[in-house]
Amino acid sequence: MGQLRTIVPELEKMGYQVIAVSTDSPQQVDAHGKKNDFPFPLLSDSKMSGARALGIAFHLDDPTVAQYGKFGIDVEAASGETHHELPVPAVFVIGTDGKIRFEYVNPDYKSRLDSDVLLAMAKAALKK
Which residue would you say has higher pLDDT here, 25 or 95?
Answer: 25
Query: What is the fold of 2-120?
Result: Glutaredoxin (3.40.30)
**Rounded to an integer, what distance in angstroms lies between the CA atom of residue 75 and that of residue 127?**
40
pLDDT tens digits along 39-80: 899 999 999 999 999 999 999 999 999 999 999 999 999 999
pLDDT tens digits along 111-126: 999 999 999 999 999 9
Domain chopping of the chain, boundaries: 2-120
Nearest to 44 by CA among 17, 58, 24: 24
